[in-house]
A and B are shown apart, each in its own frame.
Chain A
Amino acid sequence: MKKFILSLLTISVLCLSTIANAKSIRIGTEGAYPPWNNLNSAGELEGAEIDFGNEACKRMGVDCEWITQDWDGIIPALLNGKYDIIIAGMSITEERKEKVNFTNGYMTDGARFAVLKGSGLENMSVAGMDKVNLNGAGGKEQAAIGQLNAAMQGKTVCVQSATIHQNYLEKHMAGVVEIKLYQSVDDTNLDLVAGRCDAILADVGSTIDYMATDVGSNVAFTGPTFSGGVFGDGVGGAVRKEDSDILEMWNAAIAEMLADGSLSDITKEWFGRDISM
């Protein structure tokens, strides 16, 4: 009988339901993607997007609550109402736009392959191009992709799942390389260093951050920096389709921060270069 009552009480106490509050905004982020968003050893979130989000909330005059969520469930959790906006280095792509609306882009970073030094794959240059923009890709871009494919034939490339990087590999390198999918970017870094991956494809900023650690000192970039096309048009905040008011608030804050340079200051602090849009 006692157990009965105890369990009843436990269950009722636990059914804490939170109803979305207009005066406070819940922001969903990954917390495992430095220097965009990361959890430090004090258990706090830190990163360029954390500073950006907090500053934007201050300007909008609302309270912000940060909620961490594993990357693979991040959009479904938004659609389920767990938070109101995703600020997690999420690139704006047509595919995602079918399910969510994006704010205007606030930061943008290219994607680049990374390999281990001494693996023979480093410093590949393709068609003499440093940057490959896949928006309206013409012959030159296709040639670059073709050269890259030829150089990486049969290799293993690791990416985080549910990312634009996975989309690029599946669209342009399917059948050429073996694609391996991981839960987080750090897992791909670990396996690159362990030798299980011949190459990884990730955001430039994230790989640079890893290269600065002592375990990542053996990592080098290779090939051109990609942007556009399947890589999307910059990083934006994702909101549910019906929350147009939240969308407008954030667009206004982003425009303000772009105009007065605070966004570029934040990115310079965390990325070492200005990657605001």
Chain B
Amino acid sequence: MIRFDLLIFGDTGWGDELLISSIMTILVSLSAMSLGVFVAIFTTWAKISGNLILKIFANFYTTVIRGIPELLVIYLIFFGGSASIMYVAKIFGYNGYIELNAFTMGTISIGLISAAYSTEVFRGAYSIVSKGQTEAAQSLGLSKLHTFTKVLAPQILKHALPGLGNVWQITLKDTALVSVTGLVEIMRQSRIASNVSHSPLTFCLSAAILYLILTTFSSKIFNKLEEYSNKNNVAA
């Protein structure tokens, strides 16, 4: 049933490949999350800025990405992404093939999904930070940029932390869907191992345990971060 001999490290076991694929999962989740947060800053700003066109674009983006199954988004970006990049490159006169490697494709597809969720988190956090903060900052003569970076952003970040922790978990688990891009992360590696060794139980369980370890550690880290950011809260 469960073949522990297949999980050892070295040439006859898949243990080492699984470990490397776990690291790959962490790396692609980290880069997707960073990309997501980066993009979310712009889309949140588009939503709250009051400019109607920007708001419509940003709403369209988050509605579509959150309304279509992740598998389809990843397929669309994987199959459509290279084609559109080459199309754009053709406009600039470059006629060769530009190929984005599996890691980049994975990052971009999951990153764009993650960005849609992060946008909602930031939007919610922004609405919690009271308008009074902005007014107080302006009455002190702080420039718009300083108001944002020194007053609003830290508070938004603090309120966004629990939501971002949730988005991180979602991002981490969504990496299991990128096997179509060829990226060898935990899910793909365990499918490869199970196909070769004809023992799906061993490797599905290993994959589940690996993901559980990653999500547990992540929630512990996020809990510590939340404690740290809340330590200066005035007691209610």
What 0/1 readout, one digit per residue, does chain B (77-109) give for beta carbons within 8 Å of chain A?
Answer: 011001100100000000011111101100100
Decide yes or no whether A43 CB sits under 8 A from chain B: yes
Q: What's the Cα separation between A210 and B198 when bound, in Å?
A: 9
The B contact surface, by secondary structure, is helix
Q: Please report which residues of chain A, range 171-216, place their CB below 8 angstroms from some CB of chain B when the two chains form the complex.
A: 184, 186-187, 189-190, 210, 213, 215-216
The answer, among A4, A19, A72, for a CB contact under 8 Å with B96, is: A19
A-chain residues with CB within 8 Å of residue B97 when the two chains form the complex: 19-20, 81
Those of B123-155 within 8 Å (CB) of chain A: 149
Q: For residue A70, which residues in chain B have a CB less than 8 angstroms away from its CB?
A: 179-180, 182
**Beta-carbon contact of A32 and B99 below 8 Å:** no
Q: Which residues of B contact A189 (CB under 8 A)?
A: 198
Q: Are A42 and B11 in contact (CB under 8 A)?
A: yes
B167 at the interface (CB under 8 A from A): no
- Tell me the complex Cα distance, A132–B16, Å: 46
Interface stretch among B29-37, B61-69, B221-229?
B29-37
Do the beta carbons of B104 and A16 come within 8 Å of each other?
yes
Q: Contact partner of B38 among A11, A14, A39, CB < 8 A?
A: A11
Is B110 positioned at the interface, with any CB of A under 8 Å from its CB?
no
Q: Is the CB of B82 within 8 A of A41?
A: no
B104 (CB) vs chain A CBs: closest residue: A14
Quick check: A38 and B196 within 8 Å, CB to CB? yes
Q: Is the CB of A80 within 8 A of B79?
A: yes
B211 at the interface (CB under 8 A from A): no
Are A40 and B34 touching (Cβ within 8 A)?
no
B170 on the A face (CB < 8 A): no
A11 touches B98 (CB 8 A): no
Closest to A80 in B: B82
Known contacts A38-B196, A80-B83; is A15 also within 8 Å of B14 by CB? no
- Chain B nearest CB from A197 CB (Å) reads 15
Task: Enumerate B1-47 residues with CB–CB distance to A below 8 Å.
Answer: 6, 11-14, 16-17, 30-31, 34-35, 37-38, 41
Which residues 2-23 of A have a CB within 8 angstroms of B?
3-4, 6-8, 10-11, 14-20
- Report the separation of the CA atoms of residues A89 and B104 in the bound assembly, to the nearest whole angstrom: 28
A1 and B149 form a contact (CB under 8 A): yes
The docked-state distance in angstroms from the alpha carbon of A1 to that of B192 is 41
Q: Does A31 belong to the interface (CB within 8 Å)?
A: yes
B38 and A41 contacting across the interface, CB-CB below 8 Å: no
A43-B17 CB under 8 A given contacts A38-B196, A190-B198: yes
A76: interface (CB < 8 Å): yes
Complex contact A41–B180 (CB within 8 A): no
When distances are taken between beta carbons in the complex, the residues of chain A under 8 Å from B79 are 73, 76, 80
How many residue pairs link A and B with beta carbons under 8 A? The number is: 106
Given A68-B182, A215-B198, A7–B86 Cβ distance below 8 Å?
no
Q: Which residue of A lies closest to B20 (CB)?
A: A43
* B230 CB–A CB distance under 8 Å: no
* Residue A82 lies at the interface, judged by CB distance under 8 Å to chain B: yes
Q: Does B207 contact A (CB under 8 A)?
A: no
With known contacts A20-B99, A80-B82, A69–B38 Cβ distance under 8 A = no
B34 touching A6 by the CB < 8 A rule?
yes
- Among B78, B99, B180, B194: residue with most chain A CB under 10 A: B99
A76 to B97, CA, bound (A): 14
Q: Which residue of B lies closest to A240 (CB)?
A: B97
Complex contact A8–B104 (CB within 8 A): no
Residue in A closest to B35 when the chains form the complex, CB atoms: A11
Task: List residues of chain B with CB within 8 A of the CB of A76.
Answer: 79
Question: Is there contact, CB below 8 Å, between B196 and A39?
Answer: yes
- Tell whether, in the assembled complex, residue B99 and residue A10 are in contact, meaning their CB atoms are under 8 Å apart: no
List of B residues within 8 angstroms of A6 by Cβ: 34
Known: A80-B83, A81-B86. A18 touches B78 (CB 8 A): no
A67 close to chain B: CB less than 8 A: yes
Q: Are A31 and B103 within 8 A (Cβ)?
A: no
CA gap between A190 and B96 in the complex, in Å: 42
Cross-chain contact of B103 among A14, A19, A80, A187 (Cβ < 8 A): A14
Q: Is the CB of A10 within 8 A of B196?
A: no
Report B190-236 residues with CB < 8 Å from chain A CB: 191-200
Q: Is the CB of A41 within 8 A of B195?
A: no
Chain B residues with CB under 8 Å of A32's CB are 192, 195-196
Evaluate contact between B6 and A41: CB separation under 8 angstroms: yes
Smallest CB gap from A213: residue in B = B198
Which residues of B are at the interface with A, using a C-beta cutoff of 8 A? 6, 11-14, 16-17, 30-31, 34-35, 37-38, 41, 78-79, 82-83, 86, 96-101, 103-104, 107, 149, 179-180, 182, 191-200
**Pairs across A and B, CB under 8 Å, 6 listed:** A19-B99, A41-B6, A73-B182, A81-B86, A81-B97, A215-B198
